[in-house]
Amino acid sequence: MKGTKNQHPALQFTGNWFIDAGILGFVNLMEEVYGWDLEELQKKIKENEDVLYYWYFPIGYICHVVKEIQIKEGLEKIEQINNIIDKIPKVPQFTNKNDLFEKAWKWITSNKLLITEAKRGKSTITRIKINWSGRYRILTNFPLFQPGYDIERQKNIFMSLLGLKEIEDNVLIHIDKTTSKFLPSASDFLNISYTKSCINIYTLVSLNTRAPVFILTYPLAFISKLLEYLGYQIMFYSPDLIFTYKVNKKLKIYLNKLKKLKIYLNKLSEEKKQKTIFKITWWSIIDSITELESLWSLENMYLIKIKPPKGQKQDLEMVEYIGIPKLQASILFEDKIRNVLNTQFEIGKEEGKEEGKEKGKDKNRDRNRDKTDGNKTIWLLEEFVKRTFVYDKLLKHTNWALKCGENPKFKASLYALAIDARIKENAETSSKALFSNDFFREYKFLVDEIKETYSLLVSRAILISQLFENEEEKSKLAYPLFSALKKKNRISFVNTLLKKFTELSKKENLSSLIKFIFENIISNDVSWENYALALIIGILTSRGGENGGEIHEE
């Protein structure tokens, strides 16, 4: 992967997010049990892979699953399992990987705390004390966790997952909901009426030879404990292991800080919860971008959010993938653009049903609110990443500025308009193929174009503001222009503007503006609104307002 220091890391992502989640879960498991971070783990795997997979992993995994059960059973029980984890012995002498696994299994079965006896009908069976507790809840029905399986059967399954035995269990061969809760069950695969799931273990193994191991660890990729009270789990995913690992670690730190600051997410409305999580994800990503500049892969990123099943249910209650595509990521890579987008914008009160209801109830309170009170703010970066057309939000922001007599955010607005315009124009002119040349060139040309467009918008916004001396005249002009723009009426917009131009006594620099209007508003059917809004922002920004004119050239 581009920019990675280590050319052949022992563990690396495959591009299949499900296996990659398992790899991340594996790293998290080893860190939680043995305290090895990713770098250390990579070193250890390189030194001796067998030791990791046939000794440390089986012992660590079973201890970890048991610990998840013990957590529910009180402090004393947690201490007991912690004592066992502390006493995990170093690797014994071994002849081959089977021998090493046998020794690991012997150590596991020799620990009474890891073993349990269960009644099955009239007989009693001995089994490893594992079940779908805590973070492993998502593995409901997975063979290893089946309460009816005795220790021998559990051992066989573990060995087949480690590649020490042929996989016999059909459930493990044809991957369906039993293995991954993100898939339907075998009978629900609608398009396959004559065979079982097309995704089989061999497909996964062809992507990564350790894939069966990672099926066991994928639940640990999700951040759950810090979000337990919200009922869902999240995972940040990018196709680069180091970047994903770092961002998820940062996310945990931020979530922890939130908890310590007693800003409990559960007190917030559902909308605010979503926003807070989105924001802290982005803080984490931005932090990691700064730290890992050379490793920043500029690949597609996702935030995967799940609600694990509850009670007797087996289905995930919710799965949500929030994509952050390469085009947006390429633009965000630019420090300057990222900083500008990292801005809060007032967009006025939301027009909607809820407000309508509130209005009826609380008319007096609304009347008493000052001009900024109760205004909704948006985080530009979030809107950008969510791929909503930022233009609509900026239109609302300008409307708010117009109504309140405030200055719109000049620099950020124009940058955002330039980005939005260039994305629209690029979508119109570029190849419609998913993997076009632009995709592989990482859209670098687009960043240059955005900067050029921004400079143009700034200079023309300043020019138009200098044409009018009278503040009242500016406000009077801004209203009909805004109204025309809101209705997407280009004729009315240009008409109003040109009539005003003919009335002007001083016509210096008018030719630059006329050229701008011709090139970008009249001849441009794709993004003319962006350029038109830039002119309105130029007219509005120079008005007094509380913050004074913030107009300035770069």
Partner 1 sequence: MEEKFTKNKKWKYQKIMKEMEEIFQDISANYSQKLVYNLLNAIKFNNQREFFWEVLRVLNTKSKEAGKVADLCKDIGSLYPLSSSEFEKVAFSIILGIISAQGGEQNE
> What is the contact surface with partner 1 in residues (CB under 8 A)?
429, 490-492, 494-495, 498-499, 501-503, 506-508, 510-511, 514, 517-518, 522-523, 525
Minimum separation from the CB atom of position 43 to partner 1 (A): 54
The residue to which tokens 């794709």 are assigned: 526
* The dihedral sign for the CA sequence 455, 457, 458, 460: positive
Is residue 138 a contact partner of residue 315, using CB atoms and an 8 Å limit?
no
* Residues 491, 485: Cα–Cα separation, whole Å: 10
| 118 phi and psi angles, rounded to 5 deg | -130, 145
Reduced to 3 states (helix: H, G, I; strand: E, B; else coil), residue 221 is helix
Nearer to partner 1, 414 or 467 (CB): 467
Is residue 216 a contact partner of residue 22, using CB atoms and an 8 Å limit?
yes
Nearer to partner 1, 318 or 498 (CB): 498
Minimum separation from the CB atom of position 490 to partner 1 (A): 7
Minimum separation from the CB atom of position 484 to partner 1 (A): 11
Residue spans of alpha helices (H) in 433-489: 437-440, 444-467, 471-486
> Rg for the chain (alpha carbons), in Å?
30
Minimum separation from the CB atom of position 65 to partner 1 (A): 60
Tokens of 449: 């174009």
DSSP code per residue over 158-179 = HHHHTTSS----HHHHB-STTT
Minimum separation from the CB atom of position 447 to partner 1 (A): 22
Nearer to partner 1, 75 or 491 (CB): 491
Burial (0-12, 13-18, 19+ Cβ within 10 Å), 357: exposed
Residue spans of alpha helices (H) in 179-291: 201-207, 211-217, 241-260, 270-291
Nearer to partner 1, 415 or 516 (CB): 516
Nearer to partner 1, 319 or 504 (CB): 504
Nearer to partner 1, 249 or 500 (CB): 500
Minimum separation from the CB atom of position 326 to partner 1 (A): 24
Minimum separation from the CB atom of position 506 to partner 1 (A): 7
Nearer to partner 1, 166 or 525 (CB): 525
Other C-beta atoms within 10 Å of 290: how many? 11
Nearer to partner 1, 336 or 507 (CB): 507
Minimum separation from the CB atom of position 509 to partner 1 (A): 8
Minimum separation from the CB atom of position 543 to partner 1 (A): 25
Other C-beta atoms within 10 Å of 472: how many? 9
| 86 phi and psi angles, rounded to 5 deg | -60, -30
DSSP code per residue over 362-428 = -HHHHHHS-SSTT-EEEEHHHHHHTT--HHHHHHHHHHHHHHHTPPP-HHHHHHHHHHHHHHHHHHH
* The dihedral sign for the CA sequence 402, 408, 414, 416: negative
Nearer to partner 1, 251 or 484 (CB): 484
Minimum separation from the CB atom of position 431 to partner 1 (A): 12
Minimum separation from the CB atom of position 532 to partner 1 (A): 13
Contacts of 415 (CB under 8 A, 6+ apart): 337, 340, 341, 450, 454
Minimum separation from the CB atom of position 434 to partner 1 (A): 20
- β-bridge mates for residue 344, sequence order: 379
Is residue 396 a contact partner of residue 347, using CB atoms and an 8 Å limit?
yes
Burial (0-12, 13-18, 19+ Cβ within 10 Å), 389: middle
Nearer to partner 1, 198 or 427 (CB): 427
Nearer to partner 1, 216 or 513 (CB): 513
Burial (0-12, 13-18, 19+ Cβ within 10 Å), 363: exposed
Nearer to partner 1, 359 or 487 (CB): 487
Other C-beta atoms within 10 Å of 545: how many? 17
